[in-house]
Amino acid sequence: MARFRRTLGLVLVCCLLVGAAPGIASETHIHSHTWEEIQKPSCTETGIKRGVCSCGDQIYEYPAALNHDWSEWVTTNAKCTSEGERTRTCKRDSSHKQTETLPKLPHNMTDWRLDKQADCTEPGKESRRCTTCDTEYKEREIKATGHAWANRIVKEAECEVQGLSERYCQNGCGISPEEQAIPVLGHNLGAKTVIKNATCSIDGEIRESCTRCSYYKTTPVPKLGKNQANGHNFSSYAKTKDPSCTAEGQETRTCRDCGRAENKAIPKLPHKSNGVWDVEREATLSQPGLEITRCIDCGAQASSRNFTPRGYRYEVPTSAWGPLASEYPGGGGSSLRLLYLDLSYDSDQRFALVTEDGWLIGFAHVTVANGAVRVSVEKKSEATVMRYRAWGMFPDAATAKAVNYDNSLPFDQAVKGPGESCVIALNMISNYYQGTGNERFSDGLVSPDGEASYGQINELMLQMAEGSEE
């Protein structure tokens, strides 16, 4: 309505300007409209109002539609069998109505209920219904279970009798069981028992019994016969030949049933010694002598014994006679005998070879040349046996060790020495004669090389060893 007013006002201003231009004087007029309602606004349509001025000017206004003035909803509830509805009415005009449909409610179904149990061959049935309307109803089939087959034994089989089993329905539906035969077991023969042993002349018997029933089976064992060792009925042994010191004797037994004869040797008798010892082999330094007695009956050797003549000694440890290791500086507690050698000048010396029981039986011949040492052994008596000879060379008494055949340096050839001086050890095992050619040893004996005694030579070696220490 304000828009219409503005438009009319603009037209009015133009009229005034046109009227004023040629200088026409006019009085100023203010509209005064009188309103009348041409059409009232309804719920859905706008109204119309007209204003008229005394000057003939007209203006219009259009009041807005009122909209419905609704009452509360009036509802008819939905059910599981029918839809519901709600309606409201305009308070201004009862012919104005609005209606909405409400959807059906779901049926209120029970759980499935068992009407008929299925069995082996016939299906069962279950159903459910709506608890509200009591008209909605559903049913469905339950499958037949089929037979529940199982086997059972009606009668066990025996060794010689068939058994019986049957196939039946475990559900107890009344279907006839199917019978089936169980084959006979046969006998189960156990361990063999000897009922009667076979002998050389009579058959034996063996029995095998069934472990389930009283059945048994007997098997004969043929007699063993004469030409084997078992099952005879022997007499006791009787001597059939006397033994002597040169031939075995014999005793014999015979089977009373088959006549088999068995012989057994009787060992030879021992020789009977005449008690007279004769020399069978003379003693040498290589081996002791042998004496025997003879048998009175046959003259063969009856007994024997070794003999050692007076003065013969066997297997006696022997060494080159020098000071004990313990007497040397730094030599410790060793009872090894060591010879001290100065290697800074050439020399040729003989040292005593002395047995453990104190006899001089030869010499260690020691030659020093250009710092190398050569060792040879000389016997005093040609008959002496010297075995397991061994020698070793060491820088000093502190490093010296016992020597044996397996770790010996070579004899009769030069061996390079360890420096300015050394000690050597030499030993062996001897068989010798305490007499002609050998002599009882003492440190007062004079060496064959000069006027010094062996005791003095040892003193000298110890002094030299101490001198080289400083």
Binding-site ranges for Zn ion (CB under 5 A): 31, 43, 53, 55, 57, 68, 80, 90, 92-93, 96, 107, 120, 130, 132-133, 136, 147, 159, 169, 171, 173, 187, 200, 210, 212-213, 215, 232, 245, 255, 257-258, 260, 271, 295, 297-298
Shortest distance in whole angstroms from residue 34 CB to Zn ion: 10
- Closest CB to Zn ion among residues 37, 158: 158
Shortest distance in whole angstroms from residue 293 CB to Zn ion: 11
Amino acid found at 52 = V
- Do you know the residue count of the chain? 470
Shortest distance in whole angstroms from residue 158 CB to Zn ion: 7
State whether residue 464 is helix, strand or coil.
Answer: helix
Q: How many Cβ atoms sit within 10 Å of the Cβ of residue 281?
A: 14
- Closest CB to Zn ion among residues 134, 382: 134
- Closest CB to Zn ion among residues 298, 452: 298
Shortest distance in whole angstroms from residue 164 CB to Zn ion: 19
DSSP secondary structure of 391-424:
EEEESSGGG-----GGGPPPSSS-EE-SSSEEEE
- Closest CB to Zn ion among residues 42, 447: 42
- Closest CB to Zn ion among residues 205, 257: 257
- Closest CB to Zn ion among residues 136, 208: 136
Task: Tell me, rounded to whole angstroms, the distance of Cα 82 from its chain centroid.
Answer: 81
Distance from C-alpha of 13 to C-alpha of 20, rounded to nearest angstrom: 11
- Closest CB to Zn ion among residues 137, 405: 137
Shortest distance in whole angstroms from residue 45 CB to Zn ion: 11
List of residues 6+ apart from 319 with CB closer than 8 A: 337, 353, 354, 425, 426, 427, 428
Strands 249-254, 238-241: pairing is antiparallel
Torsion region of 204: left, alpha or beta (phi above 0 gives left; psi -120 to 50 gives alpha): beta
Shortest distance in whole angstroms from residue 286 CB to Zn ion: 31
- Closest CB to Zn ion among residues 297, 449: 297
Amino acid found at 394 = F
Distance from C-alpha of 182 to C-alpha of 162, rounded to nearest angstrom: 6
* β-bridge mates for residue 236, sequence order: none
Q: How many Cβ atoms sit within 10 Å of the Cβ of residue 300?
A: 11
Give kind and range of the element (H or E) at residue 458: helix 454-469
Angle at 27 between CA 24 and CA 29, to 5 degrees: 130
Distance from C-alpha of 149 to C-alpha of 173, rounded to nearest angstrom: 11
Shortest distance in whole angstroms from residue 357 CB to Zn ion: 42
Amino acid found at 180 = Q
Amino acid found at 34 = T
Shortest distance in whole angstroms from residue 145 CB to Zn ion: 8
List of residues 6+ apart from 22 with CB closer than 8 A: none
- Closest CB to Zn ion among residues 186, 358: 186
DSSP letter assigned to residue 3: H
- Closest CB to Zn ion among residues 1, 298: 298
Shortest distance in whole angstroms from residue 114 CB to Zn ion: 19
- Closest CB to Zn ion among residues 96, 374: 96
Shortest distance in whole angstroms from residue 247 CB to Zn ion: 10
Shortest distance in whole angstroms from residue 350 CB to Zn ion: 56
State whether residue 18 is helix, strand or coil.
Answer: helix
DSSP secondary structure of 169-212:
ETT---PPPEEEEE------EEEEEEEE---SSS-EEEEEEESS
Question: Is 291:277 a contact under the CB 8 Å cutoff?
Answer: yes
Shortest distance in whole angstroms from residue 243 CB to Zn ion: 11
- Closest CB to Zn ion among residues 169, 386: 169
